A and B are shown apart, each in its own frame.
Chain A
Amino acid sequence: MGNIQKQATHLESTISICLLAFLFLIAAGLFIKQFDTDMSRFGLGQVAAAKSETAFDLSSQAPVGFQTLSQTQNYNAENLYEKINGKAPLYTESGFWNLSTQRFINKTDQNLWMEVYLYDMANIKNAFSVFSVQRRAEADTASLFPLSFGYRTGNGLYFAHGQYYVEIVGSVESDELNKAVEEVARNMLSKLAVDGSHEIPELNLFPRDDIVAGSKKLYLRGAFGFEELTDTFAARYKIDGETITVFVSKRPDVKDAEELMAAYYDFLIENGAKDKEITSGFDNGKIVDFYGFTEIVFSNGEFVAGVHEAEEQGAALKAAVMLNDKLSEVTRK
């Protein structure tokens, strides 16, 4: 017992006091900090402090006669909503990686300004998907985009280029501003480094005759309200004066395609569709009436395809036969 109760040395006393003081400071810090709630963090975990950045330098893209109006802003999936609010899920559910934005303003006319949105969507399919589902119906197809998908409207330019989706939005409708917007687009197209191919092979599955220009779309998931219908390409055709939407989705194998076709058919029936008889053109397909619209779904090899919401059954069948024949060119190989 004697050495247990021995007198503490001066050094030991000093260390003990320091440790106690340190513990007291921690306790005091915790006590004070508990009253300092950061309201901005309500409801969520720690926000990514560092915003992701793309390697591309947007701030140096000012066209002639323009200067930067603001600093380049970068957003990741966690804070994208700070920029585009309710439209953020469209991107984050499509493989979004990051967004960089930059504004440029005319040096002499303050009413002329533009904002560039550079979305890195990680791959070309994701980029094409967000491009295609937002495509303005009456937009011009620009000759500016030999390797990309793009169009212009009265005040802006929009294109998908490799894994990037780009919007350049002008503040007003003006020839001078539109020229500047085009200059930025040209610069970006020449400088944006693209990973992999510019090709999306599935886009060539659609027959060329009677297709409505610029109507091809890609739904990454949940096409036509059916969650399992993923990676679904759609296009519109003009047949017998009717606009018909056809779709095709490539599956891993034939069995998977047949099962998905059956599941989509069941989905339609469960939601009120009624069977119709198929008159021709399919070995493995279904045609139903869905509240006055004709829906067709069939499989061909590893493809699930069909017609969506056609007003005229005759035109719908023609479109389905045409698409089936085109798919057979691939599946027979």
Chain B
Amino acid sequence: MSRQKDNNLSRRQLLSQIGKAGVSIAAAGAVSHLFYDREGPKPGVEAEDLITLPDFSVPHKDGQAISVVTGADRVRTVDKAIELLGGIERFVKQGETVVIKPNVAFASSPMLGATASPELIAEVVRLCLNKAGAKQVIVTDNPINDPRSCFTLSGIGKAAEQAGAKVLLPKDHLFKPTTLKGGKLIENWPIFFGPFEKADKVIGISPVKDHHRAGASMSMKNFYGLLGGRRNIFHQNINTIIAELAMMVKPSFVILDGTEVMLTNGPTGGSLSDLKRTNTLIASTDMVAADSYGCSLLDLTVSDLPYLSLAEKAEAGTTDYQSLKPIFAQVS
């Protein structure tokens, strides 16, 4: 009887306990509301941790912004093209560190034209080291395929090292997140920043290629290699991302190799039949202008490649390469 009595709550006790429970629930709810993040989790990066790629461009010189040299020998055409822009000494000073960013996207034979020419890279390395007196030249890329295989099978690793450059393969700790001011896609996105952190100058070297998604892969698309993460999602917005790369990267100059262009089945190619010899090499401080000229080697116009106009609109360069008074030359 007394046990049953002990188990019975009085109305006062019941109300008191309900009240306490209510307060507890309300407090928990209030704390949850206070800490609730409506935007969801960010990729774990605070704004102050974001990096910005330095500006590697050199001061503009009228009449020395773009050169177009025709000839079959890449070593001779690139020598001439750089000379016409004022020589390698205009871009690289004694004791500087230079990063060369070639297109090494695929573990592919150099003969197939899917990657930059090893002999071209070697010559630019030699110019930087021997003629300009650079302290160090780093050749690097973040390829689509396994980096070691790409640098080995493309012949670029060996050619660069033999010319005196250091070949740097991508590693996780070399990636840092960035957000492009004015960009729509590059937001808190990891980029291959490590090699560029202490660089003084940057030179892009790329072949002229057909590209199934973008229409063409040239100087601007070459810097797609800087993107880390699962960058294939950008293929859905290929024109925007290429334009944003042109906004993000300001190289000292670029070399666009149209000695032999990949006319079909790009960007991988796979057959000699995909290639066409056009014997043209372009060097420019404006990669939008370089690509605007380069697309003609693929029988395309500026209007065929929307990313060119997008980049121009973002003031990353000009599609009107004629306005830069290109210097034309031929070497035998």
Contacts and interface: CB of A to CB of B under 8 A. Distances in A.
A113 to B, nearest CB: 8
Contact of A82 (B145, B190, B213): B145
A90 B212 contact: yes
B128 to A, nearest CB: 28
B189 A42 contact: yes
A86 B214 contact: yes
A70 B149 contact: yes
Interface residues of A, number: 43
Interface stretch (A130-138, A248-256, A262-270, A308-316): A130-138
A42 to B, nearest CB: 4
Given A39-B177, A89-B212, A155 B271 contact: yes
Chain B, interface size: which category? Answer: 35 or more
Given A37-B43, A43-B230, A89 B268 contact: no
B3 interface: yes
B56 interface: no
Contact of B266 (A41, A70, A87, A138): A87
A72 interface: no
A169 interface: yes
B31 interface: no
Contacts of A36: 44
A153 B112 contact: no
A136 B189 contact: no
9 smallest CB-CB distances across A and B, nearest first, come from A37-B44, A42-B229, A136-B273, A81-B232, A171-B109, A153-B271, A86-B213, A39-B190, A154-B272
Interface in A68-87: 70, 81-87
A119 B250 CA distance: 39
B329 interface: no
A86 B267 contact: yes
Interface of A: 1-3, 34-37, 39-44, 47, 70, 81-90, 113, 115, 134, 136-139, 153-156, 158, 167, 169-173
A44 B232 CA distance: 10
10 contacts: A37-B43, A39-B229, A43-B233, A81-B144, A85-B268, A86-B212, A86-B267, A87-B213, A113-B153, A169-B271
A136 B274 contact: yes
A173 B111 contact: yes
A42 B230 CA distance: 6
